[in-house]
Structure 1
């Protein structure tokens, strides 16, 4: 009988971190705050309770964004859920799972970015909501739009989905793969993966450190198995 092409993965936003004020999250290299670490640990333990009740296990290969806050979040998950991995867990950081990059103006304050745009005669005035506009891309080297960042994350997840069935050890419908990244790029990736609609990107956010688990069956819609999206406030920062 032909094997059902089915995968399960948990999308996890990093915990609260030492974020600079009025700076697009971009590639800020700062660590989790003490409270952020505690919240991630709490969320991991709640997830562990569900794993125990449901009988699900974890894929030992954990993928995180290469940014410190995501790597720390993934490390806490491995520590708290060590008994649920089917073998010794391995954590790898990937730039493909990072948040949207604003390129050459990364980690500059919003006011400074807008001042630089005004100083350069080649650039027009950005839309008022440029930080949350899914399709707007700053005209600086290395910048990308949110929708492009989401495609990058979605491609990483899809690549894993396309190869997981070739590995008999990993081809288990109750084996959950952990992907730890960033709120905005994960939401946009969820759109590309047909998990949410485009209109949901601005309506939804993610709780810090909280996993949202989906089951994907090829050529069918995904099913949410655990976790909840957060209703996003308009003033909330993208990451």
Structure 2
């Protein structure tokens, strides 16, 4: 097995609706988010230069608009820097945790719906950031389930010897890194990801994963986790 390299990007800042678990909101990047994505292209270019690596010609992104826009801006910036990017491939495998039939409701509305349904117990305190809790609603996932989905995508994607770009969401990427052995369970909650900054990881010839470059963002104590 030849080493496969992956550059993972959390999308740029976007027009996130307040009080709604960010999950699969359909809103666009802010102007600041677009600039973050443009800056991310230069950051990745420098990282590739430092490690003597070349890009694969396909960028993978989730289907959320904010991720697709981030991937588009990255592609434009990387082409301007001399890299060949032939295709932007969208995939549901890189989506943030799905809340099923509760998608894009506020936290208060979700809790109200569960309270009104005699089939379900109230969700635990802090359920939104509980890695294992899955809403008892059709189509919902836990954060761990979303991470396993993203981890499977990373294990199956990419070209040997080159760096494949993946643009998605912070929580599902962090939980994927747990499944891949790159983060401990405690680190999932302690770390976040910077908007549109690359993290370079490698799937080695021995089947193990390792982190090569790109810093985690340290989450402020008691802060509300976002995607």
Query: 1:150 matched to which residue of 2?
Result: 147
1:214 is aligned, of 172, 176, 201, to 201
2-structure distance, mates of 1:90, 1:18: 26
Question: Is 1:28 matched with 2:28?
Answer: no
Query: 2:75 matched to which residue of 1?
Result: 78
SS of residue matched to 2:185: coil
2:134 is aligned, of 134, 137, 144, to 137
Query: 1:235 matched to which residue of 2?
Result: 223
SS of residue matched to 1:17: coil
1:7: how far off?
1.1
Count of residue correspondences: 225
Query: 2:210 matched to which residue of 1?
Result: 223
Q: TM-score, normalised by structure 1?
A: 0.89
1:105: how far off?
0.9
Asked whether the equivalents of residues 191 and 197 of structure 1 are also in contact (C-alpha less than 8 Å), the reply is yes
- Gaps of at least 5 residues in structure 1 are 165-169
Query: 1:109 matched to which residue of 2?
Result: 106
2:97 is aligned, of 87, 96, 100, to 100
Asked whether the equivalents of residues 96 and 146 of structure 2 are also in contact (C-alpha less than 8 Å), the reply is yes
Q: Deviations over 1:28-72 (max 9, x none)?
A: 011100111112212321222232343321111111001110011
Return 43-52 or 124-133, whichever deviates more.
43-52
Asked whether the equivalents of residues 43 and 198 of structure 2 are also in contact (C-alpha less than 8 Å), the reply is no
SS of residue matched to 1:131: helix
Q: Deviations over 1:110-168 (max 9, x none)?
A: 111111111011110111110000110001111110000000111111112xxx5xxxx
1:230: how far off?
0.6
Q: Deviations over 1:5-48 (max 9, x none)?
A: 31111111000001000100121011100111112212321222
SS of residue matched to 1:46: helix
Asked whether the equivalents of residues 131 and 238 of structure 1 are also in contact (C-alpha less than 8 Å), the reply is no
1-structure distance, mates of 2:123, 2:173: 24
1:68 is aligned, of 65, 68, 86, to 65
Q: TM-score, normalised by structure 2?
A: 0.94
Q: CA RMSD in A?
A: 1.5
- Gaps of at least 5 residues in structure 2 are none
1:57 is aligned, of 51, 54, 59, to 54
Query: 2:160 matched to which residue of 1?
Result: 171
SS of residue matched to 1:44: helix
Asked whether the equivalents of residues 195 and 221 of structure 1 are also in contact (C-alpha less than 8 Å), the reply is no
Asked whether the equivalents of residues 53 and 163 of structure 2 are also in contact (C-alpha less than 8 Å), the reply is yes
2:7 is aligned, of 1, 5, 10, to 10
